Amino acid sequence: MLEIRNLHAEIDGKKIINGLSLTVNDGEIAAIMGPNGSGKSTLSYVISGREGYTVTDGEILLDGANLLEMDASVRAAKGVFLAFQYPLEIPGVTTMTFLKACMNAQRKARGEAEFSTPDFMKRVRAGAEKLGVPQDMLRRALNVGFSGGEKKRMEVLQMSLLEPTFAILDETDSGLDIDALRIVADGVNALRDPKRSFLVITHYQRLLDYIVPDTVHVMSKGRIVKTGGKELALELEANGYRDFVGEAA
């Protein structure tokens, strides 16, 4: 379970998150919607521990543990995963090499035995097959020359292999055509689990047709201004954010 209490965060002296509180229960899919500049991506960075953001007040707890005291890599090993809006390229490092490094680094941090090479290969092959990731993509340098759809699929593959307890999808639908969107959404849905929760950040209701949320939160000016069920997303689609943005002011 993820609990955010009265979070205030800023970057370069600029306040972005203003007293945000949010709880995501085990097994829950929570969607965050909001206009540009409402602080959605900042929230994902503050949860996952990107440097450069200063938390001036509040706390973030994952299963009771204070995430704010941990380095980004420690949070990852603890089960936090962020699917990036713009996944990074790592030239010269094959996807296989990268996956093995990450999986074993996390296992090591948790005091678990590292995967043997055959065991690792078996897992990656099986995971790749489920998501329709071709084997030759695994031998190419990570994300280098990948299409937008391939990059997003790679994020979901990483998520399935790292088995997080709390996963954030940051604008995962951006730049995807409808077929790619369906593949990615199927991949995410396959990972639904009573022990795993998701925070889905999106502009549009479209993604939520495929990844159906349990709760929908509207974010504006760095706080949650409205919470509802999945029907709230449809309401937003019809009426826009205007009503809620006004409420926050």
Partner 1 sequence: MAAVQETVDRVKSVDVDAYKYGFFTDIESDKAPKGLSEDTVRFISAKKNEPVWLTEWRLDAYRRWLTMTEPDWARVEYPKIDYQDLYYYSAPKSSPGPKNLDEVDPELLRVYEKLGIPLREQEVLAGVQERRVAVDAVFDSVSVATTFKAELAKAGVIFCPISEAVHSHPELVKKYLGSVVPVTDNYFATLNSAVFSDGSFVYIPPGVRCPMELSTYFRINEQNTGQFERTLIIADKGSYVSYLEGCTAPKRDENQLHAAVVELITHDDAEIKYSTVQNWYPGDSEGKGGIYNFVTKRGDCRGARSKISWTQVETGSAITWKYPSCILRGDESRGEFYSIAISNGRQQVDSGTKMIHLGKNTTSRIISKGISAGRSNNTYRGQVSAHRKATNARNFTNCDSLLIGETCGAHTIPYIEAKNATAVFEHEATTSKISEDQLFYCKQRGLSAEEATALIVNGFVRDVLQQLPMEFAVEAQKLISISLEGSVG
Total residues contacting partner 1 by CB under 8 A comes to 33
| Rounded Cα–Cα distance for residues 75 and 25 (Å) | 18
Q: Does 69 bind partner 1 (CB under 8 A)?
A: no
- The residue within the footprint of partner 1, chosen from 88, 113, 178, 249 (CB under 8 A), is 88
- The residue within the footprint of partner 1, chosen from 57, 63, 69, 71 (CB under 8 A), is 71
User: 10 Å Cβ neighbour count for 246?
Assistant: 10
| Rounded Cα–Cα distance for residues 173 and 244 (Å) | 23
- The residue within the footprint of partner 1, chosen from 38, 41, 85, 106 (CB under 8 A), is 106
Q: Does 105 bind partner 1 (CB under 8 A)?
A: yes
| Rounded Cα–Cα distance for residues 137 and 123 (Å) | 15
| Rounded Cα–Cα distance for residues 24 and 174 (Å) | 23
**Nearest distance from C-beta of residue 199 to partner 1, angstroms:** 14
Span from 54-62, 71-79, 122-130, 210-218 in contact with partner 1 (CB under 8 A):
71-79
Cβ distance to partner 1 smaller for residue 8 or 140: 140
- The residue within the footprint of partner 1, chosen from 100, 151, 153, 226 (CB under 8 A), is 100
**Nearest distance from C-beta of residue 48 to partner 1, angstroms:** 5
Q: Does 194 bind partner 1 (CB under 8 A)?
A: no
Give the residue among 211, 163, 170, 214 at the shortest CA–CA distance from 188: 211
- The residue within the footprint of partner 1, chosen from 81, 146, 241, 244 (CB under 8 A), is 81
Paired residues of 13 in beta bridges: none
Span from 93-101, 123-131, 205-213, 241-249 in contact with partner 1 (CB under 8 A):
93-101
Give the residue among 22, 157, 20 at the shortest CA–CA distance from 87: 157
User: 10 Å Cβ neighbour count for 105?
Assistant: 14
- Among positions 150-189, residues that touch partner 1 (CB under 8 A) are 158, 162
- Among positions 109-138, residues that touch partner 1 (CB under 8 A) are 109
Q: Confirm if 168 and 44 have CB atoms less than 8 A apart.
A: yes
Cβ distance to partner 1 smaller for residue 62 or 208: 62
- Judging by beta carbons within 10 Å of its beta carbon (0-12, 13-18, 19+), is residue 235 exposed, middle or buried? middle
Is residue 73 within a helix (H) or strand (E), and if so which, with residue range? helix 72-78
Span from 10-18, 30-38, 89-97, 220-228 in contact with partner 1 (CB under 8 A):
89-97
Q: At what angle do helices 148-162 and 178-190 cross, to 10 degrees?
A: 0
Amino acid at 246: G
* Residues near partner 1 (CB under 8 A): 48-52, 71-73, 76-77, 80-82, 84, 87-88, 90-93, 97-98, 100-106, 109, 141, 158, 162
